[in-house]
Amino acid sequence: MLRFFQACLLVVVCTNAGSELMASEAQLVIAHRGSSGYLPEHTLAAKAMAHAQGADFIEQDLVMTADDQLIVFHDLVLDGVTNVSEVYPDRARDDGRFYVVDFTLSEIRNLELSERVRTVNGQSVPVYPERFPPGRSRFRVHTFAEEIELVEGLNHSTNRMVGIYPEIKNPRFHNEEGKDISAAVLKVLALYNFPGSGQPIFLQCFDPEELRRIHDELLTGNQAGLPLVQLIGEEPEFAPLLSEGGIAHVAGYAVGIGPSMQLLIDPSSVADEIKDTGLVARAHGAGLKVHPYTFRRDAGQIPAYARDFDHLLEIFFDDLGVDGVFTDFPDQVARFVEGEK
């Protein structure tokens, strides 16, 4: 019940002077690709489970098809989580990969979606062996619009307000393919009256130039209130965004940052000697929310400086003061946030 009232307090607005997030002090549970620790990522089943497990927001990675449809899919290629090489063996590019942008939506709907796999000694093995077994049940790729309708339907039937957290994937690649993915995303959001619907939303992207373009050029009229989040990876290209000046620049077009969790804790940290990089404080000082990614409790995914998954959450929520986390296990984070340790 506590989380329901916290979610109902969440409101996002944007002013011409700059973006500002007005929200409750609730620490957010953001379902990374859905409840992907239990069901294959970006399936409607994983999204429904995340909603039921107490997520405040559910993430949608967005990629465009050959016929300009937006699908909820993490990669630019279909290889890692579908049987595309079996269904369309002759459709790979010269690099051997099967690109989403080369297939129509109807063709992609013929594919089966499974838990992520990798190749080891010529054999496909699950990336996370303890998760949903590959080859069990049947899952399909779906569109952005279909997921919005699922979340809205669950919000209605459960009387619980859960937001969406779409990510625009690699706008430069799409632009090279002749597709303006950002404009396409905003068009779908407009059809469902975001942000005016009252349903919470953040729109995220790794590309700072594209986010600036969205803020300065594409967000007009009723969409002027759409809150943007700057994703920040560990690659050297993101280093300029980590300084006080870089954070101040981000605050000119975004309401928050979504950094890799590795950027918040110095890599030399050990148990009982956590070294804060100061990024959270710099972001908060600029008025930005901080939503790090990705919190997993799989074997080998908990940093050595944390005793267990709960201790990891304690470090980030209680010690660093982050405003929310992306997690493959929304039930575990919801339980922690609710104080049921």
Q: By C-alpha distance, which of 322, 249, 269 is closest to 292?
A: 322
In the block, tokens 């990669």 appear at 75
Query: What Å distances lie between residue 235 and 203, 232, 240, 255, 296, CA to CA?
Result: 21, 8, 11, 22, 21
Instruction: Determine the Cα–Cα distance for residues 264 and 278; give it in Å rounded to an integer.
Output: 7
Q: By C-alpha distance, which of 100, 86, 97 is closest to 144?
A: 100
CA angle 148, 33, 218 (to 5 degrees): 55
Element (H, E) at 229: strand 228-232
Query: What Å distances lie between residue 262 and 103, 179, 206, 256, CA to CA?
Result: 35, 33, 16, 17
Determine if residue 272 is left, alpha or beta; phi over 0 gives left, psi from -120 to 50 gives alpha, anything else beta: left
Phi, psi values for residue 117, rounded to 5°: -125, 165
What residues are annotated to the active site?
Answer: 32, 74
Contact 31, 55 (CB under 8 A): yes
- Residue 138: Cβ within 10 Å count: 9
Element (H, E) at 166: strand 163-168
Phi, psi values for residue 267, rounded to 5°: -60, -15
Instruction: Determine the Cα–Cα distance for residues 227 and 223; give it in Å rounded to an integer.
Output: 9
First and final C-alpha spacing in the chain: 17
In the block, tokens 């209605």 appear at 156
Encoded amino acid at 310, one letter: D
Beta bridge partners of 230: 205, 257
